[in-house]
Structure 1
Amino acid sequence: MELFPPYTPPDFTRSPLADAPQAQTAPAPADGVLPERFHATSNLPEYLHLGDGRWLLAREGRMDGVYLLRGDELRVVEPRAVRRGDPVVLARTGRGEEGVYVHADGFAVPAGAPADEFAFRTRNSRETPYSRSYDLLYDLLRHDRQQGHIVWVLGPAVAFDRDSRDAMAALVEAGYCHALLAGNALATHDLEAALFRTGLGQDIYTRELRPGGHCNHLDTINRVRRCGSLAVAIRELGISDGIMAACERQQVPWVLAGSIRDDGPLPGVIADACAAQDAMRVHARRATTVVALATQLHSIAFGNMLPGYQVDAAGTVRPVFFYVVDMSEFSVDKLANRGSLQAAPILTNVQDFVVNLRHNLC
């Protein structure tokens, strides 16, 4: 099967783009304050008219940012990062009439799209067959292991089961993970499994409740805090199995974004929401394939940071693939309602999903 759909750029020689004005800017009136009629960016390919028929493709697409344009240099930043006097691009439309064009249909219509006006089963659901989705994902991960940036967004359910935890660690060891994003819980329960073989006090294989097991995750956090960092704890506590240990061995960067519910938290968990967002955006800028497993809040948060495309050094435009694996459609529906239209669901439990990937890729 064809791995990437072809990208067709806009025809700027035809009206109305041929007659489009040059994109305009206005200085930011203060730090973190935007001029009126600023252009809010999308995750789709966007072009700015520099004048004389020259259109510049934004190399970083993301939602809810703004463009700073200095000559032919274009940057996209969060509104809070704008500084007084920065030249902010102005536009409230994306059809070219203000020098900004949002290219919504650059990629070919996906295979299987209905040819008729009326058709059944046009939306993924619990009844959708996912065999082709798996096959495409295998090919994508094999390709992007060497030529892309694979980001995993994990909920703690991955660490609650022995087989899924082992399978995820094996995928990390095999090079199929270039960055891991999660919260305090994923790392805590992965390390709890290493130390006590439990997740929230329940055996990760037999599901037997261990006496006093409800303290195990707190004991885990306490031991790691005594060590000072995850890396030191993994070494000093003799932790050799699991997801975080695999990341340390393979030098895979991780970002643990904190929440109001966190116990502890573990050292290294970023409690400042803006700092966590900045750390996650580092990987959003590079991501080519993202797999989010059983974590609604982190899936939605990272999906809203994610570009819909990447541009390589040669100027080739390719889509960014975003798989959301969960037992329900809620996360994907929420993402679609927030503009992350490339989010594709695979509706299953994460244990079966991760073990399936390990069997086919490792």
Structure 2
Amino acid sequence: MAFILPEYRTPDFTAEPFKSAPAARFEAAPKAGVAPGDYHATSIYPEYFQVAPGDWRLPRESRMDCVVVLQSDGSLTVKEFRHIAAGELVAIGRRENCEDGIFVHSGAFGQPDTLSDKFAFRTQVSRETAFSADYDELYGLLDHERNHGFILWVLGPAVSFDRDARNAFTLLVRNGYVDGLLAGNALAAHDIEGALFNTALGQDLYTKRHVPLGHYKHLDAINRIRELGSIEAAIRIGMVSGGIMDAVTRAGVPYVLAGSIRDDGPLPEVIANVYAAQDRMRDLARRATTVIAMATQLHSIATGNMIPAYRVMPDDSVRPVYFYTVDMSEFAANKLADRGSLTARSILTNAQDFVVNLERGLLGK
């Protein structure tokens, strides 16, 4: 059965409490990077602001823990605190059901099914949860998104540690299921190590046998790329052939490698400045309609904080944004919800197995 996006429920602004709501208030930012005292902080949900009587406006792009700025043309922009300019008009008020001219639309796409029984087993996601239906739904979603959305992947290095997983993800790239990639130095370094030496952290990609002086391999890979000046240069001359970075580069898939305090090298493309990296990540996150984050807790949480529950499309329609987190650890998967990504769906499994199963389900039909 073909995947169908759920319908967006636009509020009835002619009914209460909208009819009696005051206009939203906006106050000037006292200085650059500082919001007025009673600022309104955004959530993951669609939020409407009454900028004039009867004129309720939805920001086209949002993310949690930011402020809403009223532009001179009447449009609304969601900004991180560090991007607030002195004197910009920032939305004021912390009541979310029209009392301050602000409405947080948490039921925009309907409410999840609720249990009729007050007592039931296995209501939380765990390693005992059945995920067959989740895979089937994901196959349909990704087939839809390949033609109508933007699929953003957030990858930890584990995906590059296994031959079959690495090959499977490469096939997903080549077949249009990858529109953007967020990762760190490790994913790219070990993927390139695999291309150069058929190892990851000194282990053979298939047999897992340690090779002689294997602990040098990822450093040798980084060093060779640094000598050439870029990953792209290594691909262009044929030094790096096959694997994830080769696939995304050849397909023109945009990627961001965000630096870490623990990085080796790092590779030339790694963005060392954390806020520059965050801005580049958000450039891709604001385009995403589906996100799949695998085996990288910090990158997953960071991306989750940038992803709202909705996306306003070019034709002004509003659709949900899907967020999947894949990890072996229940703690890591549930951490996203703890940090505010309440709509994230978890699949608890080995990241390599997930990629292989996904590729077979999508391409092995």
TM-score normalized with structure 1 length: 0.97
1:236-283 per-residue CA deviation (whole Å, 9 max, x = no partner) reads 353221000001110001100010100000001011110010000011
What does 1:280-299 correspond to in 2, within 5 Å? 280-299=281-300
Which SS does the other structure have where 2:100 is aligned?
A: coil
What is the identity, as a one-letter code, of the residue corresponding to 2:138?
Answer: L
1:116-137 per-residue CA deviation (whole Å, 9 max, x = no partner) reads 4433332222121111111111
- Give 1:45's aligned residue: 46
Which SS does the other structure have where 2:122 is aligned?
A: coil
- Give 2:109's aligned residue: 107
Q: 2:21 aligned with 1:20, yes or no?
A: yes
Contact kept in structure 2, 1:48 and 1:100, CA below 8 Å = yes
- Give 1:177's aligned residue: 178
Which SS does the other structure have where 1:322 is aligned?
A: strand
What does 1:1-362 correspond to in 2, within 5 Å? 3-70=4-71, 71-110=73-112, 113-362=114-363
Contact kept in structure 1, 2:196 and 2:239, CA below 8 Å = no
Q: Per-residue deviation at 1:36?
A: 1.3
Which SS does the other structure have where 1:60 is aligned?
A: coil
Contact kept in structure 2, 1:44 and 1:104, CA below 8 Å = yes
Structure 1: how far apart are the matches of 2:311 and 2:119? Answer: 33
Q: Per-residue deviation at 1:11?
A: 2.4
Structure 2: how far apart are the matches of 1:80 and 1:140? Answer: 35
Contact kept in structure 2, 1:300 and 1:331, CA below 8 Å = no
Structure 2: how far apart are the matches of 1:239 and 1:175? Answer: 21
Contact kept in structure 1, 2:333 and 2:348, CA below 8 Å = no
Contact kept in structure 1, 2:59 and 2:75, CA below 8 Å = no
Counting aligned pairs with the same residue, the percent is 57
Contact kept in structure 2, 1:113 and 1:122, CA below 8 Å = no
Q: 1:121 to 1:11 in 2, by over 3 A?
A: farther
TM-score normalized with structure 2 length: 0.96
Deviates more, 1:28-37 or 1:242-251: 28-37
1:25-73 per-residue CA deviation (whole Å, 9 max, x = no partner) reads 1111111111110111111010001222121112212101111113521
Which SS does the other structure have where 1:18 is aligned?
A: coil
Contact kept in structure 2, 1:258 and 1:269, CA below 8 Å = yes
Which SS does the other structure have where 1:290 is aligned?
A: strand
Structure 2: how far apart are the matches of 1:235 and 1:4? Answer: 40
Structure 2: how far apart are the matches of 1:123 and 1:3? Answer: 26
Structure 1: how far apart are the matches of 2:27 and 2:86? Answer: 11
Unaligned runs of 5+ in 2: none
Contact kept in structure 2, 1:185 and 1:262, CA below 8 Å = yes
Unaligned runs of 5+ in 1: none
Structure 2: how far apart are the matches of 1:149 and 1:330? Answer: 28
What is the identity, as a one-letter code, of the residue corresponding to 1:179?
Answer: G
Q: How many residues align?
A: 361
What is the identity, as a one-letter code, of the residue corresponding to 2:288?
Answer: A
